[in-house]
Chain A
Amino acid sequence: MTTQPVSYESAVERLEEIIKRLDTGEAGLRETLDLCREGRELIEYSAGELDAVGKGLEELKLDELIERLEGAAQ
């Protein structure tokens, strides 16, 4: 059972743990498959986080952000 990572760095940290465990070759088949599934989920999450800060720099003034948030609330 995997849990959703709370941050990019915790996702990468867990991913490195998984790869380290897989690299030992000591994991059984069931554990290996579970780790691979969790690893793929973490990779998707991490890639999503990187994509979120890779689409293009957006610059907002504080007032503009407040207006936008207020508009969304109404």
Chain B
Amino acid sequence: MTSDPLTTGADARPAGIDGYPGPFPVGRYAAGLRERLREFAHVCVLGEASGVRFGRGPNVYFELRDGDGGIPCAMWRDDFDRSGLTEQDFRDGVEVVAAGGCDYYPGGATASPRFSFRVKQLKLAGEGDLLVQLEQLRRRLAEEGLFERQKLLARPALPKRIGVVTAETGAARRDFLAGLERRGWHGTIVWGYAPVQDRRAAGAIARAIQDLAVVGEVETIVVTRGGGSIADLWAFCDETLCRTVALLPVPVISAVGHHVDRTLIDDVAAICCSTPTHAAEAAVAVDCALARGLLLDHARRVDKRGRAAVLDRARALAALSRAPRDRVAAHRTHLHQKAREMRAASRRWLALRRDNQRRMAAQDIDRKREAAAATVVTGRARLNARAAALTRAADALEARRREALRSHGAAIRGHDPERALERGYAIALGPDGTPLGSAAAVREARDFELRMADGRVPARVREEEGE
């Protein structure tokens, strides 16, 4: 009889509760519980991940839930890495299938016990699973170097014949033609029609690509279709198709889905384009209309340079042939120039000399003028001295003359009748004012005047005197 790990060792314990075995030490019970839980069948469970935690410890923790409930999960990091998922793939909200079984961590004196579903293997469910498979295949092809082979092929900028793998009916075909029209490209398109819708189309697509590559003269192959879900585009992630493209000697341009879609053929192709229109522009790198204009310009420039080169040399030769004559003319010109310079120099010298002479004469005149001025000053001083002497002599002479005149005047005044009048004498004056010098004259005049010093007095000779 085997003992129950949950209830062994129950002896020598305090009394329990009626109706319940035990009491048992809880650590031993927890260890027994772990063993019992680990005996549960290992299963796969499906649910949505939440609370995903990548810590620094050895475990990845998360919960798996659906509408009816959930369980806490733990997964060793090594097991997670082996699952092929990355931290980016495994995030909250993704639906996963987890394989494993129940486990229980009994904890310890300080560590908390914990129930978890120990996950041994993990994979994304639904579309997520497809994406994981795609990433795994992408990594494998990349490691084999298959992404580089197409990119090393030389791509013609102006192919004459382009092979196109696409659906016979569809917008991609129309858009591709419109893109070529914009390039002005009117070469030959070889259509390799193939179904492009589901994953079973991969074989037909690969065959069409191979046929286009071997049929000859197809210089570039374009594989294109419109957008869709990853399931719709799955054919373009087919490993065989991608390996076929990678090893093809003709460059392949892929334009599958919209720019957000990234199929595996986009990685192996020489160029990956977001739309059929872009694929057309990538297939024909040359804008034909623009190139024609550019070529015309190049032709003109080459022609112009060629003509110019010949003309330049012809001109140079003509110049050389004229060289001797031009040399003599140049010498003549030089000589004339020198003669003009000499003449000018001579004129300048004469003018300079004339100026010097003028300057010297002016200086001589100035000196003489200054000497004459000095002489004038001396003469003027001497003249002034003489004039002063003359003045003095004239003054003395005048003084002498005045003295003589005064003495003559005094002498004359001594004889002046007026002085006699002043002494009381009178003068008899005739009617005409003439002095009457004699008594006879007075008698004859009869009427006369007596002039005294202080006035005149009329007088008459008495009759008896007169008779």
Contact = CB atoms under 8 A, between A and B. Distances in A.
A53 B185 contact: yes
A19 B160 contact: no
B189 A29 contact: no
A50 B160 contact: no
A65 B190 contact: yes
Given A57-B189, A58-B187, A40 B215 contact: no
B192 A55 contact: no
Interface in A8-35: 8-9, 12, 15-16, 18-19, 22-23, 27, 29, 32-33, 35
Contacts of A62: 163, 190-193, 208, 211-212, 215
Contacts of A40: 299, 302-303
A46 to B, nearest CB: 5
Contact of A55 (B156, B158, B186): B186
A19 B189 contact: no
Interface residues of A, number: 37
A23 B191 contact: no
B201 to A, nearest CB: 16
B188 interface: yes
Nearest to B192: A62
B302 A58 contact: no
B190 to A, nearest CB: 5
A66 B214 CA distance: 10
A50 B183 CA distance: 12
Given A7-B157, A19-B301, A54 B184 contact: yes
A52 interface: yes
B306 A7 contact: no
A35 B291 CA distance: 21
Interface residues of B, number: 43
B286 interface: yes
A32 B154 CA distance: 32
Nearest to A27: B309
B302 A43 contact: yes
Contacts of B188: 57-60
Interface string B296-339: 00110111011001100100000000000000000000000000
Contacts of A19: 298, 301-302, 305
Interface in B346-362: none
Contact of A61 (B191, B303, B306, B309): B191
A39 B211 contact: no
A50 B191 contact: no
Contacts of B191: 59-62
B17 interface: no
A61 to B, nearest CB: 5
Interface in B243-295: 284-286, 288, 291-292, 294-295
A16 B291 CA distance: 13
Contact of B295 (A9, A35, A43, A55): A43
24 contacts: A7-B154, A12-B294, A15-B298, A18-B302, A19-B301, A22-B301, A23-B305, A29-B310, A32-B309, A33-B309, A50-B288, A50-B291, A50-B295, A53-B160, A53-B288, A54-B186, A54-B292, A57-B185, A61-B190, A61-B191, A62-B191, A62-B192, A62-B211, A62-B215
Interface of A: 7-9, 12, 15-16, 18-19, 22-23, 27, 29, 32-33, 35-36, 39-40, 43, 46-47, 49-50, 52-62, 65-66, 69
